[in-house]
Structure 1
Amino acid sequence: MMESLLQVKGLKKHFSIKGGLFGKEIGTVKAVDGLSFDVKKGETLGIVGESGCGKSTTGRLLLRLIEPTDGQVIFEEKEITSLSNSEMRKLRREMQMVFQDPFASLNPRHTIEKILEEPLIVHGIGNKEERRKKVREILEVVGLSSYHASRYPHQFSGGQRQRIGIARALMTKPKLIIADEPVSALDVSIQSQVLNLLEDLQKEFQLTYIFISHDLGVVRHISDRVGVMYLGQMVELAESERIYEKPLHPYTEALLSAVPVPDPEFKRQQIVLQGDLPSPSNPPVGCPFHTRCGKCMDICKTNRPVLKEIEPNHFVACHLYE
């Protein structure tokens, strides 16, 4: 068994809804509601789910870019939710993020050299000459040239900008990289290049990834294990091939039935979910999926299922398997 790099226990993030003349709290959005999982050293954990399920919020909570409401995040046996801001800043050298929109995440007024040099300055790494050398080395590693350092973000294509975003994440030699929809804004032809780059970098630098995406095909290509989220909760977690070949949760089955297969002769029964995704401000009682589930039982309407190991290394939160 690989050693865990990151452990998440009962993680919650509730946002207050305020209204009225005096801004009184009138409700709560449960964006992440009791999430528990672990990430092994050197693996890629994919997190998938519909828009609004809490995937991106989870990524930001793990880096404490937003503060959790409750729960624990343990990185290398250190509980980070109780760390001070200065302690957390030091730890972020080990944990970095690649954002979805490479243009929005790069300062348009700064050259690429200044953008990539900034993490080194923040963490007090090297002198100016050493930092310049490091910038040029990393640019070469991600498939760009050293002369690109003097250019600005608007002078690059979307794929090149995402390579710059990846380069920035690598500058401090992190152990964990959280990639939040890193290829969803790119053309399909460019997506494969960026995914291959991420895989090559993982081998070269012994990186661990949390790969957040709504694209099940992309997640299957890059992930060792896959976690499926629904309404702020993890409903299934297993090795990638096991999830795709034998999904156990009805929600996972429905998601996979909608994935296109490049074979005109292949026939697959498509599962159409009834109704809309419930609001996180008013989630259903019991199982959060029971309002759309074709296999709903009476217990599902009253009791919330717990994520349990149903088969070896295959965890499911569903009353069907109790």
Structure 2
Amino acid sequence: MPELLLEVNGLKKYFPIASGLFGRKQGEVKAVDDISFFVRKGETLGIVGESGCGKSTTGRLLMRLIESTDGKILFEDREITRMSKSELRRIRRDIQMVFQDPYASLNPRHSIEQILEEPLIVHGIGTKDERRKQVRDMLEVVGLSSYHAKRYPHQFSGGQRQRIGIAKALMTKPKLIIADEPVSALDVSIQAQILNLMKEIQEEFKLTYIFIAHDLGVVRHISDRVGVMYLGRLIELADSEELYENSMHPYTKALLSAVPVPDPDFRKETILIEGELPSPANPPSGCAFHTRCKECMDICKTTRPLEIEINGHFVACHLYNK
């Protein structure tokens, strides 16, 4: 069994809601509400959920692009949440991020060479000639040509820009890459190319991924394990095939029932989720999903379900706490 690379315990992020003339705190948005998980070296952990569930906030918390309200993040047994800025700069060499919008994440005034060279300069890696050679080598790795180094972001297509974003994340030779919706802004045909590229470079560079997405089909293609988030909480986590074949939480079952199947003769029941997504500023008591769940029991309305493990399959649901 591969050793753990990342461990998250009780992670929370509450954003204050201020109003009035003096901006007094009136409440808080529970964007990430007490989640725990681990990532093994060399694997891909997929995190899925609908918009507003807190998955992208989780990715930014792991990078410490935003500060957590509570909880611990351990990377190779070192606690990220308590690190000084100088310590954090060193560890960010090992943790990089690929963002959803490949154009917004690239400086339009810099050439591709300047963009890719920047992480090396920040971390003091190599001489000028060595850095330029690495830039050209990395462009070849992600399927572009070395002569693209002198061009600017606006001269590339969306798929090519995302390849550049991946190349930038690879420049410091990280151990962990957090990919936040890396293909959601791309055409379907380009999505497949980027996913295949990510799998190839994972093997070549011995990378570990946290892959954040809302598309369950995309996540299944690339992930070893998948976690499902709802309203800031991690409600189910299991091996990819186990989750897709034997999902346990009613929310996960509903999501999977809506995934299209490429077989016109195959028919399956679609489970409709009724009602609107509650506000994270005023989440329901007990189980966050109870207001939309057909399996809702009295205990669901008052008591938050504990996460239980059944043969490596984690689920937070009162149906299994009997």
TM-score category (smaller protein)? over 0.9
Give the equivalent residue in structure 2 for 1:316: 315
2: CA distance, partners of 1:105 / 1:155: 15
CA-CA distance at 1:86 after TM superposition = 1.2
2: CA distance, partners of 1:306 / 1:211: 25
Give the equivalent residue in structure 1 for 2:141: 141
Give the equivalent residue in structure 2 for 1:259: 259
* Alignment pair present for 1:101 and 2:104: no
Give the equivalent residue in structure 2 for 1:295: 295
1:59-79 residue CA offsets vs partner (Å, 9 max, x unmatched) = 000010000000000000001
CA-CA distance at 1:163 after TM superposition = 0.2
1:202-221 equivalences under 5 Å are: 202-221=202-221
CA-CA distance at 1:55 after TM superposition = 0.4
* Alignment pair present for 1:58 and 2:58: yes
What number of residue pairs does the alignment pair up? 321
Give the equivalent residue in structure 2 for 1:41: 41
- TM-score, scaled to structure 2: 0.99
1:97-136 equivalences under 5 Å are: 97-136=97-136
CA-CA distance at 1:231 after TM superposition = 0.5
CA-CA distance at 1:265 after TM superposition = 1.0
SS in 2 for 1:190: helix
CA-CA distance at 1:274 after TM superposition = 1.1
SS in 2 for 1:137: helix
1: CA distance, partners of 2:140 / 2:250: 45
1: CA distance, partners of 2:307 / 2:57: 20
SS in 2 for 1:286: coil
CA-CA distance at 1:20 after TM superposition = 0.9
Give the equivalent residue in structure 1 for 2:238: 238
- Percent identity reads 74
2: CA distance, partners of 1:308 / 1:13: 23
SS in 1 for 2:290: coil
1:11-37 residue CA offsets vs partner (Å, 9 max, x unmatched) = 000000111111111110000000100
* Alignment pair present for 1:187 and 2:177: no
CA-CA distance at 1:198 after TM superposition = 0.1
* Alignment pair present for 1:21 and 2:21: yes
CA-CA distance at 1:85 after TM superposition = 1.0
* Alignment pair present for 1:274 and 2:242: no
1: CA distance, partners of 2:90 / 2:286: 41
Give the equivalent residue in structure 2 for 1:158: 158
2: CA distance, partners of 1:201 / 1:65: 25
* Alignment pair present for 1:75 and 2:75: yes
SS in 2 for 1:291: helix
* Alignment pair present for 1:250 and 2:250: yes
Q: Which runs of 5+ in 2 are unaligned?
A: none
- TM-score, scaled to structure 1: 0.99
Question: Structure 2: which amino acid aligns with 1:77?
Answer: D
SS in 2 for 1:81: helix
Give the equivalent residue in structure 1 for 2:222: 222
4+ residue runs over 4 A deviation:
none
2: CA distance, partners of 1:226 / 1:84: 32
1: CA distance, partners of 2:318 / 2:18: 35
